[in-house]
Structure 1
């Protein structure tokens, strides 16, 4: 196994540095940064338990190996992620020993991260833990056992990365990571080309006919995403006499039938339109048809959909309980709100109804902000972390 040891010298170029990514779920939002990183480090392989295929424009830009996972739900909550056990195949060990990575980026504190760290002294690889962001259901601040285990993993890791300030604070203040080993910058960022990469569907043809302003929701129709609270805000707007707008709902999920009935029962049918599930490569048409994006989530460690909306020039109304709320500058590219206070959300929605040009100026600001958070910038950040770990 000594062959995997890194010898940092002039001959150790990017082309022969092997990088493994351990991702229990390799959702589309991982691909832009990893794809750009793979251009710098061609021997990059993603090992994942869930693979939905390449996003449009990123086909075969890096190697992928799929190991089937299983999720066992231990407890359920209507406001958060719940408590799940994700079974990840232990034969990841054989795959890694065969690949012989010099560096492993591994997501969060699951079994794959534990195995990578346990094998580290033998395999001589470096390990970077990627902690997406901080939120109550995933931080486990009330579990002494989990915190002790996580602190041990943090101590054994060579570095840690996170998208958010809240994630950085959790790693340093709660898990006692050394500050100079923690790197904070959004790395789960979108590529607009992937969102508009597919041929338009027929059902998109009537989007331009919607009553403006158009407020857009994109996500799973499940309690945690807070769509029911957004609909309650629409009821408040109706009571205040506001009916000259559209709420466009893109997504599907267990709550859809219930919330469609709620919409009918509260006379919102003229304002609320249901698009159903839309392929990732077709989402751009829906973003482009909207004026304002709304994320009413009750819990999200990050929330890449906020960055997708910003990259496509949308004003954003974002729940304070999303990690990506850090991307919203109050009053400049959008507003933050407490999701369980529909009156508060209705108030900021009414501003866009009364001031049609507000969404344009805020959308322009969103695009300006996202110019600092492109896949290329994210890849440079990951390359910087790679250099830090390799040279130390």
Structure 2
């Protein structure tokens, strides 16, 4: 049994972290997650790792953007320093380049711990490539850290090429991956809202805001409507500021029979809708990763993934789905039409999705992270 003490610093320890953290704790039992935002354990993973809630984080907008993450400052409780000195970790794995990572690096010589920076993935809104001051700070942080991890090859390229991290200190592999058992916890109970819907069912899950690109997906549906292609359903799961506007668009485009709005649902119930769907669509204009893609794939769904999502890297274009430009609804409509017209294609793509996900399991992710941790501990 490995007795090294590991601290995870997560601004938001949301459910998609939990499968990997659960498996990682099996390898390093003396692991504690220090969380800013916490909604409890994912279904089926209760008490599978230790959590200390430090107090909620606050995102303070600096420059808002409708199509990107925008420029933000995230405030986190500063009492993390005292807790770390009390916990006495050997290694700290800290999320991104926020306040907690800065503090972990500043007190590293005193605490004599190692620091790993976890950078989810690269995207314009979080990379700050045009901000010389931010890049200077990040380069200094990367230089002081013992290693960096990222889900994507794009994240790896950013860390090495832009932030000048040493190649042998950057490790890339998807570590935010789902556990199908947690996702399907309540999916045994059918939902009357989906049982009679026209197949194929295209599923969107996410916040209804401009950055998620749902308006372009609905424009693609409007194109299909003009082509008199009616034999499908788009299921929208989520809520947000743009919902009223987009529901109005659906009424004006005669899409009310095609598009069904379910609102926000609990994470444990998402499996019901993933199971009912045939094709998962992520039309995002910017996402550093996009764990919903892997959630849909692990349940065996065909995929339509925006090229602006970091998770497009795990989609095999033409094999388990298609990668598309979210700003091109004409092309998206063509891809949807192809899937509507060929149920066997959709079925085979769904099977391919499950096959691809056999390499991206919580256990595999935990083993990857454990290898990085061991490398750091041994000073290689």
TM-score (ref. length: structure 2): 0.98
Residue aligning to 1:9: none
Residue aligning to 1:336: 323
Residue aligning to 1:132: 120
Q: What is the 5 A alignment of 1:191-206?
A: 191-198=179-186, 204-206=191-193
| 1:188 maps to 2:156 | no
Deviations 1:20-64 (A, max 9, x none): 000111111111111100011111111111001100011011111
Q: What is the 5 A alignment of 1:17-166?
A: 17-68=4-55, 69-166=57-154
Q: What is the 5 A alignment of 1:1-392?
A: 13-14=1-2, 16-68=3-55, 69-198=57-186, 204-392=191-379
The Cα of 1:205 is off from its aligned counterpart by: 2.7
Distance in 2 between residues matched to 1:176 and 1:73, nearest whole Å: 28
Distance in 1 between residues matched to 2:192 and 2:181, nearest whole Å: 20
2:256 is paired with a residue whose SS is coil
The Cα of 1:67 is off from its aligned counterpart by: 1.7
Count matched residues: 378
Where does the alignment leave 5 or more consecutive residues of structure 2 unmatched?
Answer: none
Deviations 1:254-279 (A, max 9, x none): 11111111111110001001111111
Instruction: Report if aligned partners of 1:200, 1:282 keep a CA contact under 8 Å in 2.
Output: no
1:207 is paired with a residue whose SS is coil
The Cα of 1:201 is off from its aligned counterpart by: 6.1
The Cα of 1:182 is off from its aligned counterpart by: 0.5
2:359 is paired with a residue whose SS is coil
1:242 is paired with a residue whose SS is coil
TM superposition outliers: structure 1 runs of 4+ over 4 Å: 199-202
Where does the alignment leave 5 or more consecutive residues of structure 1 unmatched?
Answer: 1-12
The Cα of 1:206 is off from its aligned counterpart by: 4.0
The Cα of 1:200 is off from its aligned counterpart by: 5.7
Instruction: Report if aligned partners of 2:189, 2:272 keep a CA contact under 8 Å in 1.
Output: no
Instruction: Report if aligned partners of 1:76, 1:83 keep a CA contact under 8 Å in 2.
Output: yes
Deviations 1:149-200 (A, max 9, x none): 0000000100110000000000000000111110010000000111111366
TM-score (ref. length: structure 1): 0.95
Distance in 1 between residues matched to 2:324 and 2:118, nearest whole Å: 28
